[in-house]
Each structure stands twice: as structure tokens, then as C-alpha cells.
Amino acid sequence: MCCWRGAFIANNTCFYVAITYVVAYGVADLGFSRQDLLAAVMIGSACMIPVLIGCGALSDRWGRKGIFMAGAALTGVWAFAIFPLIETGSFFFITLAIAVALMLISLMYGPQAALFAELFPPEVRYSGASLGYQIGSVFGGGLAPIIATLLLAHFGSSHAIAFYLAAMCVISFLCTWFLGGRAARAGS
């Protein structure tokens, strides 16, 4: 049951890198317009909304773990495309990088609430799901922009950030794989 703590780490890590760190990186390190980067995040967020809803519905039908794990795997692979696309300087490619990242993250966010809730009996469901969410938020999202900044400063390349994102996705994938309880049977 301890794997639920790590399952949510990739959602937050990748999400906050895509919506906050990318803006700071693009403005400070690449000299792009803040307005353009924020517009790309808004467009990506608008694309995310219907995908997020659809992913939640898919998890009702086909199971939460599989959809969630697909999101972790695909987001981990996409991590290696995000920065090269952003570094082109093309508004289209920057927007594409962010939008695809957010849509792939939706594969995790869509089933996340039900996945976590189904891990716990009703008496502790709220506390258990909330604790998993908060741990993932702090260690994934809260530290992600700081870690990305440190990786770029140390290695001088966005490749290190891509490996960091992929590593977080591997952690979430494996933790989700080992989840038991009703989440393992949801959708079947």
C-alpha cells in the first residue's frame, strides 16, 4: 500500500515544469516573450480540459491503473521532446510542446481522484487520498521548478531536465503498477 505515495509524483512534477518552469526558462534563458509563453500555456491548458474529462471517462470504462500508467509512460517519453521543441523559438512548436505535455498528463490526472479514493476504505478515504495528493504535490510539484533550475545550472542543458521528468514518470509508473485494492480491479 505504500506505493500510493509515489504514484502521484509525476503528475505534479511534469505539470509544474510545463506550466511554470517553461515560462521562466523561456524568458530568462532563451529570451522569449513572457506573453507568448503564457499564451502557449493557456492554449495548452484549453486543450487539456476535454482530454482530462475524456481520460476520467476512459478510466471508468477500462480501468484506472492502465490509463494512469499509460499517462506516466507517454509523459516520460514526451519529456525528451518538450525542450527541443521549445528551444526552436517557434510559437507553434512551443505551444505544441506544452499542449501535448498537458494532454498526456491528463491521462494521469483524469483517473487520479478515483484511483486514489478506491485505494482506501470509506472510513479513511478522504485522509488517505488527500495525504497521497499532498505528498505528490510537495515532492513533485513544489520542488520541480527548483530542481529543474538547479539541473540546468549544473549541467548547462535541458537534457538533464528531461531525464528528471522521465525518472519521475518511471517512479509513478512503478508505484501505480504495484497498487492493490479496488484500484487494481476498477473498470473490469
The 10s digit of each residue's pLDDT in 90-142 is 999 999 999 999 999 999 999 988 888 787 777 777 677 777 677 777 777 78
Query: What is the distance between the terminal CA atoms of the chain, rounded to a whole angstrom?
Result: 20
Task: Judge residue 180's burial from the number of C-beta atoms within 10 Å of its C-beta, 0-12 exposed, 13-18 middle, 19 or more buried.
Answer: exposed
Residue 120: closest CA among 132, 128, 131: 128
Contacts of 21 (CB under 8 A, 6+ apart): 144, 145, 148, 149, 161
How far is CA 150 from each of CA 47, 160, 161, rounded to the nearest angstrom?
A: 30, 10, 9
* Residue 46 CB coordination number (10 Å): 11
The 10s digit of each residue's pLDDT in 132-167 is 677 777 777 789 999 999 999 999 999 999 999 999
What pTM value is reported for the model?
0.89
* Residue 166 CB coordination number (10 Å): 20
Query: Grid coordinates in use for 177?
Result: 503498477
14: pLDDT strictly greater than 80: yes
**Alpha-carbon distance 65 to 118, whole Å?**
11
Q: Which amino acid is at 3?
A: C
**Alpha-carbon distance 105 to 65, whole Å?**
14
**Alpha-carbon distance 183 to 8, whole Å?**
14
Kindly report the CATH number assigned to the domain that includes residue 106: 1.20.1250.20
Structural domains of the chain, count: 1
Residue 106: closest CA among 141, 132, 75: 75
The 10s digit of each residue's pLDDT in 54-88 is 999 999 999 999 999 999 999 999 999 999 999 99
pLDDT computed for residue 183 by the predictor: 47
Domain membership of residue 110 as a residue range: 4-185
